[in-house]
Amino acid sequence: RRRTAEPYKIKSVEPLKMLNYNERKEALENAGYNTFLINSREVYIDLLTDSGTTAMSDQQWGALMVGDEAYAGSESWHHLEKAVKEIYGYKYVIPTHQGRGAENLLSQMKIKEGDFVPGNMYFTTTRAHQELNGATFVDIIIDEGHDSLLDHPFKGNVDISKLEKVIKEAGPEKIPYVCIAVTVNLAGGQPVSMKNLRDVYALCSRYGIDVMYDATRCVENAFFIQEREEGYADTAIKDILKEMFSYSDGCTMSGKKDCLVNIGGFLAMNDEELYIRGRELVVLYEGMPSYGGLSGRDMEAMALGIYESADDNYIAHRVHQVRYLGEQLIDAGIPVVKPIGGHAVFLDAREFLPHLKQEQLPAQALAAAIYLDSGVRSMERGYVSAGRNKVTGENNKPKLELVRLTIPRRVYTNNHMDVVADSIIALYEKRDQIGGLEMTYEPPTLRFFNARFKPL
């Protein structure tokens, strides 16, 4: 195969600072061994998240200047609304400051105390909002989704029999909606097939239950359908997206990922009644329904980002860059979640550090060790992120204990990926020297953001 390159060229650069070993050690200690608490100026290559870290295009930067900052009826809002309707196909749109703003509105409007919300693996903020409104989250992802080493083209798929079982046991009236993430972040950025989306929608329609997507990384999901699912190889990403969304009643969206912006999100739906209620509620939490916590220029940039993201060349390069890093690690025998997902490479910390028990926080410890070795910042997605059971207060023990190396969109070159690979390969060779951590401060909610640790 002929090699391809980035489908863009670089117009503006941001110089990076490189700390030496002792400076990194001090920064890590100051941050309580939590990579969330390290200052970005102390980071060389920042793979903490792909959220809001996108490089905007020159068109988007230009569009900031024409943003309409009117309090009501902003022209930029109309541009955003038009982009969502055109690319995602929903009838109604409510802007929010980011994804969790939309999750808050949706959960408040649809969930009653004692409800159940089935979903294909949880996401932290999504589940937190569901629980805050009195629902119990039920995981309906296929078993393969929990097996980090198992190769499967659509590991984000819903197990239809699990879904049907929940519906029958709880009763359809106790299920306000089914939440389908495309792709599944915590399973490793794994996609859901078109057939599965179709099947979920058909089953839910039979019971009169709404299907709401978490559309955060929907373009990555569309790419995997084009690449892997029979009959879609010659279908444009735009058309795949349209079909995907046709099997849902609405979505929450974190624009900070696949809308290619640094801030923004929305809630979209086809049900007019829900839209009318949403328009009331958004005023309380975000702002007028014509800005939802965003400035006009933010909405202008997001409208353009939505079109840019649905470009076949853009998304192919995006997913291939993630894979470029992942395959170097696989070739070196390093345990990673397979297959490589759409936004990140996930290291399997239990396999990487088999001498540590889960209570010794292998993923947290590995993330700290990577920063110390090379200034590369990653994120724990395991025992610490999974939090505690809301009823018993016991620590949740997720099957997956992962370190996420998340690739920002259009930001780093493949040379940066090489630096990351070299660091992790070097650490793997001396992995027996990496010790565990213990938590010294535990915040009550979403503890991973602010928790502090010390070496055992």
Residues tagged active-site: 71, 123-124, 214, 257, 381, 448
Tokens of 79: 């541009």
| CB closer to ligand F0G, 405 vs 427 | 405
- Restricted to residues 184-213, the positions that interact with ligand F0G (CB under 6 A) are 185
Q: At CA 455, angle to CA 451 and CA 456, rounded to 5?
A: 115
Name which position in 32, 67, 99, 362 contacts ligand F0G (CB under 6 A): 99
Cβ(342)–Cβ(322) under 8 Å? yes
265 scored as a contact of ligand F0G (CB under 6 A)? yes
| CB closer to ligand F0G, 218 vs 237 | 218
CB of 119 to ligand F0G, least distance (A): 10
CB of 251 to ligand F0G, least distance (A): 10
DSSP 261-279: -SS-EEEEES-HHHHHHHH
53 scored as a contact of ligand F0G (CB under 6 A)? no
Only segment of 11-19, 94-102, 234-242, 363-371 that touches ligand F0G (CB under 6 A): 94-102
Cβ(405)–Cβ(328) under 8 Å? no
CB of 189 to ligand F0G, least distance (A): 9
123 scored as a contact of ligand F0G (CB under 6 A)? yes
Cβ(432)–Cβ(419) under 8 Å? no
At 190, is the secondary structure helix, strand, or coil? strand
Q: Half-sphere exposure (CA, 13 Å, Cβ side) for 85?
A: 11
Only segment of 121-129, 235-243, 349-357, 395-403 that touches ligand F0G (CB under 6 A): 121-129
248 scored as a contact of ligand F0G (CB under 6 A)? no
Cβ(367)–Cβ(38) under 8 Å? no
262 scored as a contact of ligand F0G (CB under 6 A)? no
104 scored as a contact of ligand F0G (CB under 6 A)? no
Q: Residue 379: beta bridge partners?
A: 404
Distance, in Å, from the CA atom of 232 to the CA atom of 98, rounded to the nearest integer, reads: 31
98 scored as a contact of ligand F0G (CB under 6 A)? yes
Distance, in Å, from the CA atom of 51 to the CA atom of 13, rounded to the nearest integer, reads: 19
126 scored as a contact of ligand F0G (CB under 6 A)? yes
How many positions of this chain bind ligand F0G (CB under 6 A)? 15
254 scored as a contact of ligand F0G (CB under 6 A)? yes
Cβ(223)–Cβ(236) under 8 Å? no
Only segment of 95-103, 187-195, 232-240, 422-430 that touches ligand F0G (CB under 6 A): 95-103
181 scored as a contact of ligand F0G (CB under 6 A)? yes
Distance, in Å, from the CA atom of 283 to the CA atom of 292, rounded to the nearest integer, reads: 7
- Restricted to residues 299-328, the positions that interact with ligand F0G (CB under 6 A) are none
| CB closer to ligand F0G, 221 vs 356 | 221
Only segment of 97-105, 113-121, 291-299, 360-368 that touches ligand F0G (CB under 6 A): 97-105
Reported for 391-396, long-range contacts at CB under 8 A and 24+ positions apart, including other chains, are none
Tokens of 367: 């993330």
CB of 108 to ligand F0G, least distance (A): 15
Only segment of 122-130, 233-241, 301-309, 382-390 that touches ligand F0G (CB under 6 A): 122-130
The whole-angstrom distance between residue 449's C-alpha and the CA centroid of its chain comes to 15
At 258, is the secondary structure helix, strand, or coil? coil
Distance, in Å, from the CA atom of 82 to the CA atom of 92, rounded to the nearest integer, reads: 10
Which amino acid is it at 115? Answer: D
CB of 233 to ligand F0G, least distance (A): 27
Name which position in 34, 35, 49, 57 contacts ligand F0G (CB under 6 A): 49
Neighbours of 235 (CB within 10 A): 17
216 scored as a contact of ligand F0G (CB under 6 A)? yes
Residues composing the chain: 456
Give me the residues that bind ligand F0G (CB under 6 A), please. 49, 51, 98-100, 123, 125-126, 181, 185, 214, 216, 254, 256, 265
